[in-house]
Structure 1
Amino acid sequence: MKRDNMLNKKFLKLLACLVLAGSLYAQAQTKHSFSFGDQDFMLDGKPFQMISGEMHYPRVPREAWRARMKMAKAMGLNTIGTYVFWNLHEPQKGKFDFSGNNDVAEFVKIAQQEGLWVILRPSPYVCAEWEFGGYPYWLQNEKGLIVRSKEKQYLDEYRKYIIEIGKQLAPLQINHGGNILMVQIENEYGSYAADKEYLTINESLFKEAGFDGLLYTCDPANDVAKGHLPGLLPAVNGIDNPAKVKKLVNDNHGGKGPYYIAEWYPAWFDWWGTKHHTVPASKYVGPLDSVLTAGISINMYMFHGGTTRGFMNGANYKDTSPYEPQTSSYDYDAPLDEAGNATAKFMAFRNVIAKHLPPGTNLPEVPAAKPSMAIESIKLTGSGALTENLPVARKSEHPLTFEDMNQDYGYVLYRTTLENAKSGVLKISALRDYAIIMLNGKRAGILDRRLKQDSLAITIPAGTVTLDILVENMGRINFGKYLLENKKGITKQVMLGGKELLGWNMYSLPFSDVSKLKYKMTDTDAPVVKKGAFELTTIADTYLDMRKWGKGVVWINGHNLGKYWSIGAQQTLYVPAEWLKKGNNEVVVLELLKSDQNELSSLSKPILDLQQ
């Protein structure tokens, strides 16, 4: 009897799963129509107001995508917006990757299963505080190639990319039974140039890739006329005055709508060395209410920022301001915090949105906050000098850039030998971006592009001396004209006392795989790698407290959590519960400045607003 009951339970469970799967499949196959009315978007012939929030699939662990979608529904969103990131999907020329956290098609499908529409933004330029604005580094190795232009090589590579994206995502458009309502071509192009022929080429490439539904452009208010392509819907970024939004769209779209704010900013992002940006919800409640009352569709940038992990942070740079590399935390003071929990801003926006729901519609309950914990101190028992982990050298009379070495991200160690050299001023022209200078393995100084530093006086010992310069790529510029000047490393020459230094060995350190690092104990003040392990009986989110450390990167169970830097304001690294496991967990730290640290602690809450 007991066995029969067990079999019955298993059968009923299987039957329930099949029913659910059938329901989701039927939902996915339901045909819908989406079109432009004179004033409104029309979904199945009826007015439809998009209440959308931006959320980027690589900034959230794949295992947590569905949970974040449920939070979006609970706030009242009916749509999710996301960029598509070229440098993730074609990290090396001709080698495409849509696996794991890069499975953007699965991200879109999960949104559909959760009852959400999608706005897709493959651009291919995205900005997004993302490395090189989303462009793959190797484009810079194509001689003469100019991004965001009609230059033939760029268009050839762009075409190959967008065709691959189309294979993944074009079948998921609403006119093919999917949930992608609209697709954006280019991205704030009016802030960069005004070449309508270039925009027309973009449109034709998208159509060739299978994006045969509704296309649109988006630009800040002052740049809409320059960045809009006649015939497409002009979306507006950065303003929320209903009258101004409608006038801008009318002026550029034949006197009619529909009206869409493609980027409505409820806060802002952070960069290293500045305060954490926060803006109270009270500043936005009124404008959100007025926009929704006016029937205007909206996309919050960001609804959920998440984390820019690995080496994917970008940087801003203008002639009038310093180089500004962005932090790993992309919390953004968004309605959903970095870990995916509802904030006061979330609840305030939810209350506004609830007022604009169709009669009889109720919002789902807000899911409980994810549990978090502080882990007992983690001892790092393995320690090794970075110089004990060097690969085979690349040799050249003159320093090579990262791109010359076919290296995308991370670090390069430049080494040369000095024979009876005189002490003097070491000058590194056009350093990109941060350098630790070492003489015979001991740190002699630091140069930081943010501070416009390119030289320092060094005292050189007598005899034969090894000069090492460890250079970090702190993020390629993601906005403006300097997209065209984005090579990394030592991009010109190194001078000592006014004389150029020649005869370099270069060691590529991309840190794309930390499983084979060597931990030979070394007493040094130079950069080191550290390794430790810790046991868990309970799994929850946690935040590594890096306040006692200097500058570097942390990996947990092989996952790159991002960068830390004592200058702040970010002082913690978010560790998602999804990447921890019961039992043994491994941690690896690359530390550039404080090689004597041997212990990690963690907190149950982040510290994002402390500068040192």
Structure 2
Amino acid sequence: MVVLRMRNVHKRKYVLLCMCIFGFIMYRYMGTSVKHHELSRNVGLSANSSQFTLEGHPFQILAGSIHYFRVPRTYWRDRLLKMRACGINTLTTYVPWNQHEPERGVFNFQTQLDLEAYINLAAELGLWVILRPGPYISSELDLGGLPSWLLRDGRMRLRTTYPGFTHAVDSYFDKLIPKVVPLQFKKGGPIIAVQVENEYGSYSKDSNYMLFIKEALQSRGISELLLTSDKLRTLKSGGVSGAISSVKLQKLNQRDIQDLYAVQPNSPKIVMDYWTGWYDVWGDLHHVLPPEDVVSTVREILRRGMSVNLYMFHGGSSFGFMGGALNEPTYRALVTSYDYDAPLTEAGEYTQKYHLLRDLFSRFKRDDNFPDMPALHYRDAYEPAIMYQHLSLWDALSFTEGPFKSSSHLTMENLPVNNRNGQSYGYTLYETVITTGGSLMSGDNVRDRALVFVDRIYIGLFKRRNVELMVPEGQGQRTLSLLVENCGRAHQGNDLDNQHKGLVGDVLLNNTPLQNFTIYSLDMKPSFIDSLYEAPWKTLPENPSFPSFFMGRLFAYGYPSDTYVKLPGWEKGVVFINGLNLGRYWSIGPQQSLYLPGPYLNSGTNQVIVFEEKEGDYKVHFEESPDLGMAADIH
């Protein structure tokens, strides 16, 4: 009996010892789940002269960027598990102000934008988090993630301490920051660092601005390590006292290292954005970065003991009208795909980059216990959707918000729509009465493209380099219409205050400004697309008019799979699946397909609506593979 008790005692001690050892391994390897509840967290991520430490232990950040707002929520877990299986220990994500506060004082942190759920999921899967809340984030988003209603203030000075901007930031941070404060490391959460703004060194219009943002974060309870992030040439001017400066780059050379050490000699070094690829613009080629270049640079970064964040690890899609634009040297709008030539494709598939990086990280960490790579999702090629109904743009106007009368032009942002927050995205139709023909001059006041009609007959196109059209002569009063598209506000550069869209100045007919407009807002939000159910759709005629909406059906039986929308024979427009805006297509490329995630489909019948500006094939194809266009190496 005594012997049996002694054995039980030893057995309990042995079990307790095993549990302690297992807990310690989980703490060091997984880094979050055990520690989250059982261990004190007095010291978070810290920086000494040579390395980062996490709760006193040496810690090298191996991070990757995945944006929750670019990935269907149903796939968050899949993408983060694939990140974890590659050897990444930290997730980084931006927070897009323009999506979380689409109208002043109206906030959305639900469903696809549930930031707290995303961060908690990262913790559950064993990932630390570096949060990049902005307010400006760039991220190739319209206006760099800033809400367009800020531009209603004619004196607005974005990213400065101008009161109109700081008051708006304070209001936004009052809602955002309390949501993430409890998720900080020292409070038991996964957030180990927070970035102060983004790339301010290349903007740098206000010496007090970065201090304002830093204090705005800290005064609301942010207490973890602070970071700033800039390109090397602007690293110094983008920093702020009390924050570690980090660098963005795509190639690493000896001079870069010397410059980095010169700017910040007594701190650990982190490449906050190592660009694994690049974004694409309409009318160009698809940018790719060879896998061997990526692995070579990351290997060198690790060899030097530096930390790194792969931007992007998985890009996803800029669904809807989310994407931004370049404004210098000329205006160029970004495509819908944000594939970025990242280690995980737009649809979450493994690439050669992924496998090479996983091998590199496994050898670097000397750890054979990497999680298994999750299985890939099945993709399907569905039968084409035949467009069987047609609705002209003109017949859809009664379902818009408006119309509005104005004696002179109004920009999109200044329209009295959306609870007087203006129009953020999409198209705006301006109509006026003319009594003569002649020379119509835009004077570069059309932002960004305009289809021009007389009595609803197409006569030509205004774009940035095409500023004159001839209006044919005619009898009596006629209606001149300009359908203006916002192709995306610039996401970077020093001209953010001037990113108004629509008609931003006078359009002249024979040197006389057009006046007395009737204006329709066509932002094409889900509520508008849903309202078209009541519209007077007609059976597709043999020669339909343009611009128009076309409706068809996609049948997906069983559990719907991912697929790609392809539109050969169509010119330019927007695709809606079950009321959701997948994004723009444009025959000029490079992108020739739109990613359609399986979770966006119903089992059975799905509604397909295409808004086409000029020419259609009346059939929408669904194929298994993407087509991002002809590829070109990034130089």
1:520 counterpart residue number: 537
Tell me the amino acid that sits aligned with residue 321 of structure 2: F
1:193 counterpart residue number: 204
What is the aligned counterpart of 1:585 among 587, 598, 606? 606
Q: Is residue 465 of structure 2 the alignment partner of residue 445 of structure 1?
A: no
Number of equivalences: 581
* Displacement of 1:597: 3.0
Q: CA RMSD in A?
A: 1.9
Tell me the amino acid that sits aligned with residue 184 of structure 2: Q
Matching of residues 67-466 of structure 1 within 5 Å? 67-193=78-204, 195-238=206-249, 241=252, 247-253=258-264, 255-318=265-328, 321-357=329-365, 359-390=366-397, 391=400, 392-405=402-415, 406-419=422-435, 421-427=436-442, 429-449=444-464, 452-466=465-479
* Displacement of 1:244: 5.2
* Displacement of 1:156: 1.0
* Displacement of 1:246: 5.4
Unmatched runs of 5 consecutive residues or more in structure 1: 1-22
TM-score normalised to structure 1 length: 0.92
Give deviations 1:59-94, integer Å, cap 9, x for gaps: 000110010001101111111111111101111001
CA distance in 2, matches of 1:81, 1:560: 26
Give deviations 1:354-383, integer Å, cap 9, x for gaps: 1111x4442222223221111101112221
CA distance in 2, matches of 1:170, 1:394: 44
Give secondary structure in 2 for the equivalent of 1:269: coil
CA distance in 2, matches of 1:549, 1:274: 19
What is the aligned counterpart of 1:597 among 577, 596, 617? 617
Q: Which moved more, 1:496-505 or 1:572-581?
A: 496-505
CA distance in 2, matches of 1:293, 1:240: 15
CA distance in 2, matches of 1:473, 1:425: 20
TM-score normalised to structure 2 length: 0.88
1:476 counterpart residue number: 489
CA distance in 2, matches of 1:376, 1:119: 43
> Would the alpha carbon gap of residues 71 and 143 (structure 1) be closer, same or farther in structure 2, given more than 3 Å must change?
same
* Displacement of 1:201: 1.2
Give deviations 1:150-193, integer Å, cap 9, x for gaps: 11111111111122111111211111111011000011111111
* Displacement of 1:234: 0.7
Give secondary structure in 1 for the equivalent of 2:530: coil
1:532 counterpart residue number: 552
* Displacement of 1:239: 5.3
Give deviations 1:398-442, integer Å, cap 9, x for gaps: 1111011111111111111122x1333443542100110011111
Tell me the amino acid that sits aligned with residue 330 of structure 2: P
> Would the alpha carbon gap of residues 531 and 230 (structure 1) be closer, same or farther in structure 2, given more than 3 Å must change?
same
CA distance in 1, matches of 2:89, 2:348: 18
Give secondary structure in 1 for the equivalent of 2:236: helix
* Displacement of 1:210: 1.6
CA distance in 1, matches of 2:193, 2:96: 17
Give secondary structure in 1 for the equivalent of 2:330: strand
- Does the aligned pair in 2 maintain the 1:245–1:259 contact within 8 Å? no
Unmatched runs of 5 consecutive residues or more in structure 2: 1-30, 416-421
* Displacement of 1:143: 3.7
Tell me the amino acid that sits aligned with residue 338 of structure 2: Y
Give secondary structure in 2 for the equivalent of 1:225: coil
CA distance in 2, matches of 1:506, 1:528: 18
- Does the aligned pair in 2 maintain the 1:172–1:180 contact within 8 Å? yes
Give secondary structure in 2 for the equivalent of 1:394: strand
CA distance in 2, matches of 1:551, 1:243: 46
- Does the aligned pair in 1 maintain the 2:270–2:308 contact within 8 Å? yes
> Would the alpha carbon gap of residues 549 and 60 (structure 1) be closer, same or farther in structure 2, given more than 3 Å must change?
same
What is the aligned counterpart of 1:38 among 41, 49, 52? 49
What is the aligned counterpart of 1:49 among 60, 63, 66? 60
Give secondary structure in 2 for the equivalent of 1:355: helix
Q: Which moved more, 1:230-239 or 1:169-178?
A: 230-239
What is the aligned counterpart of 2:571 among 523, 544, 550? 550
CA distance in 1, matches of 2:301, 2:230: 18
CA distance in 1, matches of 2:207, 2:333: 32
* Displacement of 1:28: 4.1
CA distance in 2, matches of 1:229, 1:244: 23
Q: Is residue 571 of structure 2 the alignment partner of residue 563 of structure 1?
A: no
Tell me the amino acid that sits aligned with residue 410 of structure 1: G
